[in-house]
Amino acid sequence: MIFPEYRARRLRQNETFRALIRETSISPDHLVYPLFVMPGKGVREEVPSMPGVFRISVDQLAKEATECLGLGVNSVILFGLPDKKDSKGSGAHAKDGIIQRAIKELKNKAPKLTVCTDVCLCEYTSHGHCGILINEVVDNDATLEVLAQTALSHAQAGADMVAPSDMMDGRVAEIRGILDENNFPMLPIMSYAVKYASAFYGPFRDAAACAPQHGDRKAYQMDPANIREALREATLDVGEGADILMVKPAMAYLDVISRLRDEFDLPIAAYHVSGEYAMIKAAAANGWIDGEKVMHESLLSLRRAGADIIITYFAKDMARLLNG
Ligand code: PBG
């Protein structure tokens, strides 16, 4: 017998061979770009912990949309900073709330752009929790109705997809119900089905000013130690009518993405979150890593693990790289 029996390096000799046998691909079609929208006019404010990411006012959205579409990034997900917060998060479902105005502006000025919205209360509550507090505890069932109203208000403003990120039990069913009753049977729900109580959200909480004012989110977001529970969460959301299952964060949870890919046939989204972005940016700024290559490798790994959709602050940079 000849040694070695098989030479794996034969098909790594040149880029054509490598491209021929490449198992995973990534294109701008797979990317969703998060946008932070805030009150005011002409505002374009860089988030200190997320270089290259800006909080922008509604009038700046059209420009952003044109840039995304020009790069082939056809979907965005919106996060809002309201004019004012209150204990019940009423800004989340206000008819002329920040997100509702943002959706209308985008649908008006860039109808080709697919507009997803994050459905949660944490950016709108004075206490920073993702739901309604009763005796200092986030009350699941009291929160459901407010979330449903929020999703409906996004639909009425023209959103193309809603993405509940609150982690209340039963919210997908509640949202599906109110959308169907109000003639939005075709509006998909991308559920943050498996969302961990993660320290990787730090920079986002600066960006969206939504850190909890007391305590943490461990009573509703998942324990990073658990994967069987992730399957249970996903099963519940499938039963309640979710169209897409999301895992969040992404890089530290590749095993979870992979398991969901094996066990479910719904499309899977991975949210490469703010802390993951910030770490790459910071190391690159120090010259410690090649930021572009690490970005590419990171996002590719999410596709390899089984994600169809990738939500990332790198969406435009990645598309630029892919478009050459
Ligand atoms: C709202 C929400 C958060 C993120 C997305 N939606 C913050 C949180 O749950 O604390 C985090 C996204 C990111 O870190 O990029 N609940």
Residue 2's pLDDT is 77
**CA dist., res. 132 & res. 279, Å (int):** 32
Residue 101's pLDDT is 98
Residue 3's pLDDT is 85
For ligand 1, whether the C-beta of 165 sits within 6 Å is yes
Residue 20's pLDDT is 98
For ligand 1, whether the C-beta of 125 sits within 6 Å is no
Question: Looking at residue 304, which CATH number applies to its domain?
Answer: 3.20.20.70
For ligand 1, whether the C-beta of 201 sits within 6 Å is yes
Domain extent for 84? 25-323
pLDDT in tens, 213-234: 999 999 999 999 999 999 999 9
Helical pair 61-71 and 98-109, crossing angle rounded to 10 deg: 50
215 is a domain residue:
yes
pLDDT in tens, 278-322: 999 999 999 999 999 999 999 999 999 999 999 999 999 999 999
1 is a domain residue:
no
Question: Beta partners for 164?
Answer: 119
**β 161-164/190-195 pair status:** unpaired
pTM greater than 0.85 (yes/no) = yes
CB 187 within 8 A of CB 29: no
Residue 1 predicted with pLDDT over 80: no
Average pLDDT of span 81-102: 97
Residue 107 predicted with pLDDT over 90: yes
Catalytic annotation present for 248: yes
Percent of the chain predicted with pLDDT > 70? 100
Residue in the block written with tokens 């950016």: 123
Q: Between the CA atoms of 213, 248, 267 and 146, what dihedral angle is there, to the nearest 10 degrees? A: -10
Tokens describing residue 159: 């959103």
- Of 248, 281, 293, 316, catalytic: 248
Other Cβ atoms within 10 Å of 263 Cβ, number: 12
In the reported structure, the alpha carbon of residue 248 is separated from the centroid of ligand 1 by a whole-number distance in angstroms of 9
For ligand 1, whether the C-beta of 204 sits within 6 Å is yes
**CA dist., res. 162 & res. 115, Å (int):** 9
Please report which confidence band the pLDDT of residue 119 belongs to, taking 50, 70 and 90 as the band edges.
Answer: very high
Please report which confidence band the pLDDT of residue 92 belongs to, taking 50, 70 and 90 as the band edges.
Answer: very high
Residue 140's pLDDT is 97
Tokens describing residue 302: 């999410």
Query: Which residues are CB-contacts of 314 (< 8 A; sequence separation ≥ 6)?
Result: 272, 277, 280, 295, 299
- Of 195, 218, 293, 316, catalytic: 195
62 is a domain residue:
yes
In the reported structure, the alpha carbon of residue 205 is separated from the centroid of ligand 1 by a whole-number distance in angstroms of 7
For 56-122, the DSSP string reads EEGGGHHHHHHHHHHHT--EEEEEE--S--BTT-GGGS-TT-HHHHHHHHHHHH-TTSEEEEEE-ST
Task: Identify residue 276 by its one-letter amino acid code.
Answer: E
In the reported structure, the alpha carbon of residue 298 is separated from the centroid of ligand 1 by a whole-number distance in angstroms of 19
Residue in the block written with tokens 């030479």: 7
In the reported structure, the alpha carbon of residue 5 is separated from the centroid of ligand 1 by a whole-number distance in angstroms of 50
Residue with CA closest to ligand 1 atom 6: 165
Average pLDDT of span 132-151: 96
pLDDT in tens, 5-26: 899 999 999 999 999 999 999 9
Average pLDDT of span 28-38: 98
Domain count within the chain: 1
197 is a domain residue:
yes
16 is a domain residue:
no
Mutation probe of ligand 1 site: the residue of 37, 77, 119, 120 with most atoms within 8 A of C-beta: 120
